[in-house]
Each structure stands twice: as structure tokens, then as C-alpha cells.
Amino acid sequence: MNVFGVDIGGSGIKGAPVDLGRGALAEERHKVLTPQPATPDGVAGCVAEVVTHFGWTGPVGVTFPGVVTGSTVRTAANVDKSWIGVDAGTLISDRLGGLPVTVLNDADAAGVAEMTFGAGRGRKGTVILLTLGTGIGSAVFVDGRLVPNTELGHLELKGHDAETRASTRAKEDEGLTWEHWATKRLRKYLAHVEMLFSPELFIIGGGVSRKADKFLPLIEGVRAKIVPAELQNDAGIVGAGMAAGTAARLV
């Protein structure tokens, strides 16, 4: 059974049909740039562009980079602040001609996908997925159950929002080497999260997970095991599709 998933990010919006049986994309994903400013109207238009690219007419799952309760946006750190208070599900459904839309936090979606089909499959105890990109998203699981909307990228680290120092955007904007970023920024962030939650496993997701060999071996002094996301940057799309499938009672 295929369901459509869309992953809204601070720099790009990508989507594809998802094979719910395999936990994988059924077709090559289509991506467009996130509009700047990333207003509700502009982003909803881009989501519609991605969905209609495939001629899709069924349920759609959509991730959002912020806290989502029900389908209402509560925070918007890496998109326009006018999103706050918007019923994203209704907005996007209207732009899709009334197709059923399920909206959830982007890292939560990626985490559910990884716990079901990827690096967290079958893991008990506390597992934390961190998506490193424009910001830092987080998904916390205890014995396989999600604690939603944790937003650990906004923990304070040396007087700053953690994601402004340890995200891959911070690495790129400041021209940091892999070694400096991994040992001085990411390691300290992981150690701080570990001190607070004592996880057995960290899963590192986001686009940078494709380059895990460049930085994960450099991180020392963290007790928890650290592994790259197996679904890499497709995890959000897969998790969005899974959420839509659950809402439509297809899984």
C-alpha cells in the first residue's frame, strides 16, 4: 500500500509516494526550494506542487519543522513566524482540493520511520533521533513509544540555542571543518543531551547522515552508541507517509 509523504524543511520541500510495507520511497522523490520567506501560503503552494507532480489523489502526510498539536502549528523556528497558530492540515488540504492531510513534527516523523524500519528497529530503552540540518530536530522514544514534540535543538548550549552552534547549517555558515564541528560543537551537544536523558542510542539523521564517516568516528566521550539513520534523508518522507496511512487506517 502506498501513501504520500512530504517533508517540509527550512531549505527544501520534498515528497514521494511511500511503500508502507517496505518503509521506502515507491518512486524517486521530487524536491522544490522552500520559499523565502517561508510563509504558510508560500509553503502550502510548494507542498501542492510536490504532490501534484505525481498526480496524487489519496491521503497525504506532511512534516513540519516545529511543534504541532493536532494539526495546529505552535512554534516556527526555521520558517516564518506567521505559521504559529495556523491549522496546517486544513490549509494544505484546501490547497490540495480537499485531500486528507495529516501533519506532524518533522523529527518525530523521521524517528517513527527509523524506529520501525531503520536503525532503531527493535530497540528498547531510551533512543533519541537527532536530525541535523537547517536546525536540529529531535525525537525521543522510550521502549519504542514516542514522546512527541521534544524540540531538543533549542536546549541552551553555552548561552546559545543549541542548533545555532551544532546544526550543519552552523557548520556551513561558519566554515567549520568536520573535525572542529564534530569535536567542539556536536560532541558537546550530544554530551549535554546525554546528561539530561541518558539514552542507550543516538540516531543521527538529516542530510548529513550520508556523510557519517566524516564525523561520527571523531566523537569521543559519549557513552551512548551513536549511529547514522539508515533511511538517511528519506526518513521524514517515510514517517509522514506512515502517519497518513495510520490516520486513513491503512496500516
Task: Supply the CATH number for residue 199's domain.
Answer: 3.30.420.40
> Do 118 and 145 form a contact (C-beta atoms < 8 A)?
no
Domain membership flag for residue 114: no
Q: Residues with Cβ < 8 Å from 82, sequence gap 6 or more?
A: 39, 40, 76
pLDDT (tens digit per residue) in 122-166: 999 999 999 999 999 999 999 999 999 999 999 998 899 999 999
| Together in a domain, 126 and 222 | yes
The whole-angstrom separation of Cα 221 and Cα 229 is 21
Our count of domains for the chain comes to: 2
Domain membership flag for residue 113: no
pLDDT (tens digit per residue) in 90-134: 999 999 999 999 999 999 999 999 999 999 999 999 999 999 999
pTM for the full predicted model: 0.95
Q: Residues with Cβ < 8 Å from 152, sequence gap 6 or more?
A: 128, 130, 136, 138, 140, 162, 193
| Together in a domain, 79 and 168 | no
pLDDT at 250 over 80: no
Q: Which domain holds residue 150?
A: 119-229
| Together in a domain, 217 and 159 | yes
